[in-house]
Amino acid sequence: MTSPSLIPRKTFFGNPDKTQVRISHDGRYLTYVGPHEDVLNLWLQPADQSKPAEPLTHDKGRGIQGYVWTYDNKHILYIQDQEGDENWKLFKINIETKKITALLDKKNVQMRFIGSSYKHPNSILIGVNDRVPQYHDIYLLDIETGSKKKIYENNSFVGFLIDDDLKIRLACKFTEDGGADWIKIKGKTEELYESFNSQDNATSGPLGFSKEGDSIYWLDSRNRDLAALTFSHFETKKTKVIASPEKTDFSDVAFHPTENTPLWLEEEYLKPEKSLLDSAYEKDFSYLKKLHKGLPTLVCSTLDFQKWIVAYSDDRGPISYYLYNRLLKTSQYLFSNNKSLENLNLSPMHSLEIKARDGLNLVSYLTLPAGLTQKSAKKIPTILAVHGGPESRDAWGYSSQHQWLANRGYAVLSVNYRGSSGFGKKFVTAGDKEWARKMHDDLIDAVDYLVSQGISDPEKIAIMGGSYGGYATLVGLTKTPDVFSCGVSIVGPSNLLTLIKSVPIYWKPILGSLKRKIGDPDTKEGLKLLKERSPLTYVDCIKKPLLIGQGANDPRVKQAESDQIVEEMKKKNIPVTYALYPDEGHGFVKPANRISFFAITEKFLADHLGGHFEPVGDDLKGSSLKIKEGAVS
């Protein structure tokens, strides 16, 4: 059924007005990523907004994915890949001449940022895997000339820790069982410095060096469940605990840009909470808390730390950005990230604690159609929205997916199942080798809770998600086919054996960790486990409608993962709708593609759950959509 009160899909899934908001290190300019000719491009504006913003880039493809200001305040560096292949290329913009120069633009080569420093404003460290694809050699790149000098040939390491002098001090090597060894690098000598086992590696690691370079800040969960913030002398290893979290791992640790001292911490259990470490900023936060509704978050600052970009997030509206002058204790409203979301009748997101069958607490989030409460909602068609990762988490705040589905008449539930990150090492490692078992049981327990409360209609429940969430959808329709009325799987793996054997080659160094989590194909027991936990093994069990979305260039969950389950369903005459996007990767970045898929999804859900829907109209036009199987009405 249609409804006149529907908020257009494009409001939820079109381009934001402004995102990735930054201020230059000298405070002269604001930059952000926003639409130019319907593609996300980089914009520049004087910080005092005395002149209108102007686009610096004119991309017509997947847009600008990320960027940084250089410390010389003359250049901006940004990255792009080729239609979702994640082989990141590096470009620079001279903000005076507006000239764009390719600094690294090689086919099938990936660039990674390693680090930069205000002490070396004309240089940056990058990693490049052009020698051997498994490892990134470290280069010192001259920003002005574009020349680069190899300073470390890497044959072992997956990560590096540098100091403010751009010197490599530590390097990380994953062990075969999923742990991590941090190796001290001094000239050509290498020696073991710190070691984390497979459990602690999930939540521990270095954050950075002190200003003097003689000490390191760590998050460390050894001998505890939640990772504490610690400070240790580099040579003596004498360590003190600065702060210990209470209910979750620290979700953010803010540091001074030049002093390298920790200023405040953030924990997020049901909702985010901040705690100050340095009382010198008490007046600032007191001021900012009163400035606007929602929790203030420091996005970035000038190098002297006197001007801050502060963002306020809310569950029922866009992100609001302010420019805060710490010296004067004044603020200037800049803009919101999406003006079309302002003053809409959006629904609150409710934070829940749901008990799993074995007593584990599952932090979850529920959004209901506008006007309904947990007490007044009765037998609402429900969408179980499963996050990817799985080492990620759902959090309280604005969710375009939650608001879109609630506006269509659905209850929307997101669950932090075991294996999700942020809730301590016991919780995240409780997901090891529990794919399609206890991790899925957690999802079912959460659904059963909503049914027991009378909120959800047990005959009208759908499951949907991307990446691991797509896999969970396939598991839901094969392992528990009577629970769900339909499913939507986006870039979801169907065969764990082919998934682990086809990971990007630059993931090879972390294969030990992946094997520990899902199973080792090099052992008889591991092979059995991978087959047993693969939805492809149980295609015969699918009896409810399934919609699959896939990016053809996805380097993580390759197209074969969707192709093979669709092929098996065809052989067995099981209906499926398969939407392929030739110019996308691990998720749908182009707005036309994103909107087209959610238009299909909206009609699919309405057909099988009976919710409201906005007619597809022309929302498929301009996308690269190819329907490989089934039909779209």
In this predicted model, what pLDDT tens digit does every residue of 18-56 receive, in sequence order? 999 999 999 999 999 999 999 999 999 999 989 999 999
Q: Check pLDDT > 90 for residue 513.
A: no
Tell me whether strands 29-36 and 89-94 are parallel, antiparallel or unpaired. Answer: unpaired
> What is the fold of 349-495+534-629?
Rossmann fold (3.40.50)
| Mean pLDDT in residue range 212-224 | 97
Separation of alpha carbons 272 and 349, rounded Å: 13
In this prediction, residue 219 carries a pLDDT of 97
* pLDDT bracket for residue 227 (50, 70, 90): very high
The pLDDT > 90 percentage for the chain reads: 93
pLDDT digits (tens, 9 = 90+) for 104-152: 999 999 999 999 999 999 999 999 999 999 999 999 999 999 999 999 9
The pLDDT > 70 percentage for the chain reads: 99
Q: Which amino acid is at 35?
A: P
Place of tokens 């993962």: 561
Q: Measured in Å, how far apart are the chain's first and last C-alpha atoms?
A: 14
* pLDDT bracket for residue 504 (50, 70, 90): confident
Give the orientation angle of helix 438-452 with respect to helix 468-479, to 10 degrees: 70
Tell me whether strands 546-551 and 577-581 are parallel, antiparallel or unpaired. Answer: parallel
In this prediction, residue 39 carries a pLDDT of 93
Name the DSSP letter for residue 347. P
In this prediction, residue 506 carries a pLDDT of 86
Separation of alpha carbons 473 and 440, rounded Å: 10
Place of tokens 């509704």: 293
pLDDT digits (tens, 9 = 90+) for 328-368: 999 999 999 999 999 999 999 999 999 999 999 999 999 99
The mean pLDDT of the chain is 95
CA distances from 500 to 27, 355, 465 (A): 46, 32, 20
The DSSP H or E segment spanning 455 is: none
Name the residue among 447, 394, 385, 440 with its Cα closest to residue 420. Answer: 394
Buried b / exposed e along 413-430 (16+ C-beta atoms within 10 A): bbbbbbbbbbbbbebbbb
Q: Check pLDDT > 60 for residue 1.
A: no
Domain boundaries, the chain: 349-495+534-629
Sheet containing strand 100-104, edge to edge, reads 66-69, 75-80, 89-94, 100-104
pLDDT digits (tens, 9 = 90+) for 566-578: 999 999 999 999 9
Task: Answer whether 103's CB lies under 8 Å from 113's CB.
Answer: no
Name the residue among 483, 488, 477 with its Cα closest to residue 459. Answer: 483
Separation of alpha carbons 394 and 376, rounded Å: 25
The catalytic residues are 467, 554, 586
Separation of alpha carbons 125 and 113, rounded Å: 7
| Mean pLDDT in residue range 487-504 | 95
The DSSP H or E segment spanning 386 is: strand 380-386
Which residues are bridge partners to 275 per DSSP? 265
In this prediction, residue 509 carries a pLDDT of 83
| Mean pLDDT in residue range 598-605 | 97
Peptide bond just before 521 cis, omega within 30 deg: no
Q: Check pLDDT > 70 for residue 3.
A: no
In this prediction, residue 463 carries a pLDDT of 98
Task: Answer whether 502's CB lies under 8 Å from 478's CB.
Answer: no
In this prediction, residue 4 carries a pLDDT of 47
pLDDT digits (tens, 9 = 90+) for 263-311: 999 999 999 999 999 999 999 999 999 999 988 999 999 999 999 999 9
Separation of alpha carbons 469 and 492, rounded Å: 7
Which residues are bridge partners to 209 per DSSP? 216
CA Rg value for the chain: 25
In this prediction, residue 188 carries a pLDDT of 84
Burial of 156 (0-12, 13-18, 19+ CB in 10 A): middle
In this prediction, residue 390 carries a pLDDT of 95
Task: Answer whether 389's CB lies under 8 Å from 421's CB.
Answer: yes
Place of tokens 């399934």: 546
CA distances from 145 to 79, 130, 310 (A): 18, 20, 34
Name the DSSP letter for residue 587. B
pTM: predicted TM-score of the whole model, two decimal places? 0.95
pLDDT digits (tens, 9 = 90+) for 166-207: 999 999 999 988 899 999 998 889 999 999 999 999 899 999
